[in-house]
Structure 1
Amino acid sequence: MNPVQFGVFISPQHADIQRLREHVLTAEETGFDYVSIQDHPYSPAFLDTFALIGTMLGQTSRLRFVPNVANLPLRPPAMLAKASATLDLLSGGRFELGLGGGRLWSQIAGLGGPRRTPGEVVTSIDEAITVLRTLWTPGRLATFQGRHYSLTEAATGPAPAHDIGIWLGALGPRMLDLTGRRADGWVAPLATSYETKPAAQDRIDAAARAAGREPADIRRIIQPVGAVTDRVETTERPRSGPGGQPIRTTPDGWARIIAEFVQEERFDTVNLVPEDESVEQLTRFATEVIPAARAAIASS
C-alpha cells in the first residue's frame, strides 16, 4: 500500500483573501501533506484555481497542491500540460493534477465551453491524458488525432520536475475503468455514496490488472466531510448514505474511522473537507487527528 497522506480541501473564495492565505499557511505549518482546491471557473465567487495555486506555491515550501478537479472542458489539455509543468518546475515538484470531465454544462457552455454526453466525457479525458503525457515528454514533434483534442507536429516540453500524477474524479463505471487503465489516482467524489465505494475500488483494480498495471500504483483518495469535536456525535465509520454526510467526533474517533478507511476500504489518502473551514479546525485535525490516525494505522 502507498504511504498514507493527508490533505485538506480549501475553498478559493475571493471575499476574504487574507483568510484564505491563513488557511493555506496553517496547512503548511501544522503538517498536512497537500492542499486541494476546487476548480469552478464559472463561479464569480471563486478565484482562478491555477493562479491561486501558483501564488500559494510561492508562499509555501513543503505543501503539495492539487486542483480538485481541473475543469477539462474549460482548460484545453495542451495548455493544461504547460501550466501544470510550469507549476511543478517552479515549486520543485509539488504539483499533482486532479482532472475532471465537467458537470455543470449550462455554466460551462456559458463561458464558451462544450456540452458533452457521459460517453464524450470519458473519451475527452482519455484523449486529454494522452495529450498531457505526450507534451510532458520533451524533445520531439508529436502528432495525435482524437475526437476532441489533437496535436499536429507539436513541439513537446517542458518536462515537469517530477512525474505529475493525474488523479481522476471518477463516478460512473466507464470513468472507473479509465481510472484503472490510465490514471495515477482516484479522487472519490463527494457524490459517491459510501455503499458504492468498495465496488468502485474493485472495478478500478480489475481495469488496472486487465491493462497490465498494479492496482497499488493507483492512489485512492477519500474525502470525508466533518469536524473535530470534544464529544462523540459520529460513533462509527459511515458505510452507507451520501459521501458528503458529516463526521463529527473526537480526535480518537477520527483516528479510528480513518484507520478503517485505510485498512478495510483501501484508501491511502485522506482529503479532509472541513465542515467549518477555520484555522482552529485545520490545526486540530493536523495536530490531534493525523498523529493519532498514523498510530492507529501502524498498530492495526
Structure 2
Amino acid sequence: MPDYGRPIRFGYFLTPDASEPLIAIGQEADRLGLDLIGVQDHPYQGRFVDTPSLMAMLLAATSRIRVFPAVACLPLRPPATLAKAMASMDRLSGGRVELGLGAGAFWDAIEAYGGPRRTPREARTALEEAVRLIRMLWGDQRGLRFDGAYHRLAGAQPGPEPAHRIGIWLGVTGPRALELTGRLADGWIVSSAYVAPAGLLAGQRRVDHAAQAAGRDPAEIRRIYNLSGAIDERGSQGFLKGPVRQWADELTELAVGHGVDTFVYAGDPEQLGAFAMEVAPAVREQVGRERAGTRPSEAVPTEPGPAGASPSGASSSGARPNG
C-alpha cells in the first residue's frame, strides 16, 4: 500500500453525551492544537445531544479546529437540509466544517425514530444520491432538479455557498460502498474497533482501484482512522494499548505502510493531552524520517481488536457502528 504523502492530521472523536462537559472538551482539543473534532451522530440515543447543534456550539466556542459529524446518519438527516446546515456552519465559522456521511446502521433504532429501514443495496444507493445532491446544493446553479430513488429536488435553489470546498468523507465498510468512496467521495472514515490494519489495507486497495477506474488520483482521497485504545505507560497490552512510544510506532506504520493520513483518537478525554502533545509530534517526526528514507518501517502488532465490518455492509463506521 503506498504512502500517499499527505500531511498527517490528528483529531478527537467526541461522544455527544449530554452529561459530559462537551464544550470544554472541544475547547481543550482546540487549545492543544488538534486539527479536528469528529462528533458521533446517533439521533435516536436519548442521552445524546443533537450533533449539528453541538457542532455549531463547538465552532462558536473554538477558534481554529475543524469539526465534522462522524458520521451523519443519512436516514434521519435529509440531504438537502443537511447540506444547508453544513454550508451555514462552514460559512459562519470561516471554513471549519467537513461532512462525514454514513448510509445507516442500527435499523431498529432508526425505524423507531421515524426513519426508513433500508437493505444494504438501498442504503448504498441512497448514500450515492445524497453525495450527488449535496454537491449540487453547494454549487451556484439555480432551479436544481434531482430525481433519485430516495432523494429528489424539484426546482430547488442552492445556497449559501460554503466558505471552502467541504470534503464529503464516507463512513463505510462494505465492498460496494468502498467503491463508491473511490468514485465520488473526498475521504474514507473507518474505525480501528471494527476494521483492523489488515482489513484497512484491503479497503484501501478497493478505494484506490475504484478511484483509478473513475480517472481519479487515489492520493486526492483523505483516509481517516478512528482510534479505539488507551495510552498506558505500564506497558503494551496489544494494538493501540500501550505507552506513547508504542502508539507513535504503530501510527507511523499506519501512515507510511497503510496510507492513513488522519488519526482521530476515540479514547478517554483525560488522555487528550498525551495524545496531542506526545503522540502526535512523535508520529509527525517519525513519518518525516520515514518519508526521507532515514530508517526502516516498523510493523504494526498483529494483535488487533475486533476485525471485520460493522453491522451493515453499506453502513457508516465510527468508534461504534454509526448511523
TM > 0.5 fold call: yes
Alignment of 1:68-79 (within 5 A): 68-79=70-81
Q: Which amino acid aligns with 2:48?
A: F
Query: Residue in 1 aligned with 2:287?
Result: 297
Query: Residue in 2 aligned with 1:277?
Result: 269
Query: Residue in 1 aligned with 2:235?
Result: 232
CA distance in 2, matches of 1:139, 1:120: 28
Query: Residue in 2 aligned with 1:286?
Result: 276
CA distance in 2, matches of 1:7, 1:249: 19
Query: Residue in 1 aligned with 2:172?
Result: 170
Structure 1 residue 156 displacement after superposition:
1.3
CA distance in 2, matches of 1:184, 1:54: 22
Structure 1 residue 9 displacement after superposition:
0.6
**Structure 1 range deviating more: 38-47 or 217-226:** 217-226
Q: Please, what is the CA RMSD of the aligned residues? A: 1.1
Task: Answer yes or no: is the 8 Å Cα contact 1:170–1:187 preserved in 2.
Answer: yes
Task: Answer yes or no: is the 8 Å Cα contact 2:11–2:36 preserved in 1.
Answer: yes
Query: Residue in 2 aligned with 1:2?
Result: 6
Task: Answer yes or no: is the 8 Å Cα contact 1:71–1:100 preserved in 2.
Answer: yes
Q: Does 1:261 align with 2:247?
A: no
The aligned length equals 285
CA distance in 2, matches of 1:233, 1:206: 36
Q: Does 1:205 align with 2:195?
A: no
Task: Answer yes or no: is the 8 Å Cα contact 1:85–1:160 preserved in 2.
Answer: yes
CA distance in 2, matches of 1:157, 1:133: 11
Q: Which runs of 4+ in 1 moved over 4 A?
A: none
Out of 181, 188, 213, the residue aligned to residue 179 of structure 1 is 181
Q: Which has the higher contact order (CA 8 A, sep 6+)?
A: 2
Query: Residue in 2 aligned with 1:14?
Result: 18
CA distance in 1, matches of 2:221, 2:65: 21
CA distance in 2, matches of 1:191, 1:233: 20
Structure 1 residue 222 displacement after superposition:
1.3
CA distance in 2, matches of 1:75, 1:152: 18
Question: Could you report, residue by residue, the CA deviation over 1:236-284 in whole angstroms, capped at 9, with x for unpaired residues?
Answer: xx4xxxxxxxx2222222111111000110101111111x232xx1011
Task: Answer yes or no: is the 8 Å Cα contact 2:73–2:103 preserved in 1.
Answer: yes
CA distance in 1, matches of 2:113, 2:245: 46
3-state DSSP of counterpart to 1:290? helix
Out of 145, 160, 165, the residue aligned to residue 158 of structure 1 is 160
* Structure 2 unaligned regions, length at least 5: 291-323
Task: Answer yes or no: is the 8 Å Cα contact 1:101–1:122 preserved in 2.
Answer: yes
Task: Answer yes or no: is the 8 Å Cα contact 2:23–2:61 preserved in 1.
Answer: no
3-state DSSP of counterpart to 1:222? strand
Out of 57, 60, 79, the residue aligned to residue 58 of structure 1 is 60
CA distance in 2, matches of 1:41, 1:272: 22
Query: Residue in 1 aligned with 2:308?
Result: none
- TM-score (norm: length of structure 1): 0.92
CA distance in 2, matches of 1:64, 1:27: 10
Q: Percent identity?
A: 45
- TM-score (norm: length of structure 2): 0.86
Task: Answer yes or no: is the 8 Å Cα contact 1:138–1:158 preserved in 2.
Answer: no
Task: Answer yes or no: is the 8 Å Cα contact 2:232–2:242 preserved in 1.
Answer: yes
CA distance in 1, matches of 2:98, 2:225: 16
Query: Residue in 2 aligned with 1:99?
Result: 101
Q: Which amino acid aligns with 2:32?
A: T
Query: Residue in 1 aligned with 2:49?
Result: 47
* Structure 1 unaligned regions, length at least 5: 239-246
Structure 1 residue 226 displacement after superposition:
1.5
